[in-house]
Structure 1
Amino acid sequence: MVIEEKLTLDEVANLLGKSKETIRRWDNTGKLVAFREPMSNYRYYKKNQLDIFGVEKDLEPDINEGNLKLDGNYTVLELFAGAGGLAIGLEKAGMKCVALNEIDHWAAETLRLNRPNWNVIEGDIREISFKQFENKVDVVTGGFPCQAFSYAGKRCGFQDARGTLFYEFARTVNEIKPKICIGENVKGLLNHDSGRTLASMIAILDEIGYKVLDPKVLKAIYHNVPQKRERLILVGIRKDLDISFEYPKPNKKVYNLRDALKKGELFTCDVPISVGTKYPDSKKRILDLIPPGGYWRNLNLELQKEYMQKSFYLGGGKTGMARRISWDEPSLTLTCSPAQKQTERCHPDETRPFTVREYARIQTFPDEWSFAGPISAQYKQIGNAVPVNMAKEIGLSIIAFLNKANSQKETIA
């Protein structure tokens, strides 16, 4: 049986570009009527209700890879490289990784295990100089952690950012002077410290000679990834280059969990068997009662209160709690620990978390990409990664930009 995808109030508001208050008003006036869960009266919507608003019509295909000519051997240096999700995607797009920095030992081992030829620089970025790469690298990328700055009596410039990892990202960009730098982070960076953190980051890149484009939140489900993951992309272009950069355009095709784990368009075979963690008996007892596509509100009222405890009385849908993913929907955003409370991502048929290889499939890692370390470290590496397919689309946009940069250079010459 095909279960229709349920959308929360937040998701509908984001898709339509409206406030939650507007969506609630539309519900009251009959323009877009919400469904209600029995007992809890929780409000939700079905995806096909949005057809009348032309949501899908606004989506455009990504850059056509077949028509994109690689006009050079473009190079990238990646910071905070993790298990290589972004690096693999950029490699698939046609770029060459000249160096990758990562402090986590097991993630660094994963990079070495899969790409012995990559220059993996394991260690604390604060203790590493990248001056040897000055004017030798086209792109610097990095998923820097989100940290607030201290504003008291400061102008929040480059030197004021010392002590934060974004300073190290900016310092590396300043040392290397690439044509373009790409930062990625969680969507929450937009509102971190009331937006002041992001504003300071943009000001710092401007100070060191980079024009920063308006940040863009990319939704992974529109970039060949069967997962509702969102990443904020920050692009800085060196000021001597008067060249535009175009973010990847969203695809119309949305893949689901079946596409991730079964043979089909995304993968040529079913997901390989692998190790995975288990739920404790108390959690398994609850999740046994949840249908595919369901979550804690599918329990009877007494079990809802027992499982949710204090969270039961708080606001919000909490749709990720006690959640069993349906075959016919994309996965919710994967976390670093698949069995932790409040972020359950239960297999549709079996009452268990996704295995390591299932996790990797949902993040669109190739099956041949192995992960080093104990199982907890493997889950953490995958959960923290940029989805490979989305990274490839970002890479194609970078290549299109660098092609224009090459063309401009030839014209000037």
Structure 2
Amino acid sequence: MRYFSMFSGIGGFELGIEQAAADLGMTAECVGYSEIDKHAIATYEEHFTHDNYGDATLINPHTLPEFDLLVGGFPCQAFSIGGKRLGFEDTRGTLFFDIARILDARQPRFFILENVKGLISHDKGKTFRTILRTLDGLGYDVQWQVLNSKDYGVPQSRERVYLVGNLGGTPRPKVFPSPRPSNPYSTVGLTTEPAVARTLTAGGHSGGNHSGMTILELTGQRSQSQRLYDPAGLSPTISTGGASTGGAEVPKISVGSQIRRLTPIECERLQGFPDEWTIGSDTQRYKQCGNAVTVNVVRYVAGRVLAEATP
């Protein structure tokens, strides 16, 4: 299986695909990637030697090597002329357009795309409908589902929508609906405290579960930076960590009488990466983790796609 990676960040798709291929006793070759953030590139090149095709908007698809699978977690943007039913022209001016034009030109057998859950409801659903219509117009049979990282072996509640496509007329990989695997991180871990936080919200109000929850706030504010989480619970979604706030948005936990934020290594673990995967300042490492895909989830999705491609 040869694949091309777009908006590659620190290589979460690459690592997940490697693991999935190893699970199946096969190999997967990355023929190139596309990334422009210099800090993410530094981390990526610490682990991989693939050619960087740079800015996705400038890629000439006809210069790319042959590949069977396109993967990428693309930024969500408003579509300037969405809804006019002009095929992928509806997406011009967005980064999804560059995925669409490469799919159009190269027609790989499969794709795997990842985005925030909010993509589904963005612009009252118009954005997502335009994406699905565009992919259908390019000849792909598309399936999708919102997956939560906590169901795939990491203690982080992180919901992301995954779209999987196969060219019309080819076998459809059995990816979704995804089974809900038994996972110790779906509930709170062991603790000596009589009540601990499950899915924490400011004030503890969560569908009648207030009595079974504990939350401390550093101030009366409702922002992520002002909350304190129990280390036995699930982590909230790891964000970019505050490239402009010095890590202020990184979740904070209480350890004995001390309060501290999660370390970059802990954030790597929450995303399924090996320790010390990221390089650079702590601020940049937090950002890299926040922008990454969860490796464990990619491992599952890619594994289902690769299984279909196995002879």
Report if aligned partners of 1:257, 1:327 keep a CA contact under 8 Å in 2. no
Q: What residue number does 2:261 align with? A: 353
The residue correspondences of 1:57-136 to structure 2 (distance < 5 A) are: 74-94=1-21, 95-115=28-48, 117-121=49-53, 123-133=54-64, 136=66
Q: Does 1:151 align with 2:81?
A: yes
Report if aligned partners of 2:147, 2:160 keep a CA contact under 8 Å in 1. yes
Q: Does 1:139 align with 2:72?
A: no
Provide the C-alpha distance between the structure 2 equivalents of 1:304 and 1:335, rounded to a whole number of angstroms.
19
Report if aligned partners of 2:247, 2:283 keep a CA contact under 8 Å in 1. no
Report if aligned partners of 2:3, 2:68 keep a CA contact under 8 Å in 1. yes
Gaps of 5+ in 2: 22-27, 190-194, 205-215
Report the secondary structure of 1:398's partner residue. helix
Out of 297, 301, 316, the residue aligned to residue 203 of structure 2 is 297
Q: Does 1:401 align with 2:308?
A: yes
Report the secondary structure of 1:206's partner residue. helix
Report if aligned partners of 1:83, 1:108 keep a CA contact under 8 Å in 2. yes
Report if aligned partners of 1:181, 1:237 keep a CA contact under 8 Å in 2. yes
Q: What residue number does 2:113 align with? A: 183
Report if aligned partners of 2:250, 2:261 keep a CA contact under 8 Å in 1. yes
Q: What residue number does 1:167 align with? A: 97
Q: Does 1:366 align with 2:293?
A: no
Report if aligned partners of 2:141, 2:165 keep a CA contact under 8 Å in 1. yes
**Length-normalised TM-score, structure 2:** 0.81
- Closer/same/farther in 2, CA of residues 162 and 323 from structure 1, 3 Å limit: same
Q: What residue number does 2:192 align with? A: none
Give the letter aligned to residue 80 of structure 1.
Answer: F
Out of 203, 208, 216, the residue aligned to residue 145 of structure 2 is 216
Q: What residue number does 1:324 align with? A: 228
The residue correspondences of 1:176-325 to structure 2 (distance < 5 A) are: 176-213=106-143, 215-247=144-176, 248-255=178-185, 293=197, 297=203, 307-308=220-221, 320=224, 322-325=226-229
Provide the C-alpha distance between the structure 2 equivalents of 1:178 and 1:328, rounded to a whole number of angstroms.
43
Report the secondary structure of 1:227's partner residue. coil
TM-fit CA distance, 1:256: 7.8
| Alignment length (residue pairs) | 282
Q: What residue number does 2:212 align with? A: none
TM-fit CA distance, 1:385: 0.7
Provide the C-alpha distance between the structure 2 equivalents of 1:82 and 1:133, rounded to a whole number of angstroms.
19
- 1:291-324 CA-to-partner distances (Å, cap 9, x unmatched) read 97477538xxxx979632xx6xxxxxx7x56332
Report if aligned partners of 1:224, 1:253 keep a CA contact under 8 Å in 2. yes
Aligned-residue Cα RMSD (Å) equals: 2.9
Provide the C-alpha distance between the structure 1 equivalents of 2:57 and 2:155, rounded to a whole number of angstroms.
35
TM-fit CA distance, 1:209: 1.4
Gaps of 5+ in 1: 1-73, 260-290, 312-317, 407-413
Give the letter aligned to residue 99 of structure 1.
Answer: G
Provide the C-alpha distance between the structure 1 equivalents of 2:135 and 2:106, rounded to a whole number of angstroms.
13
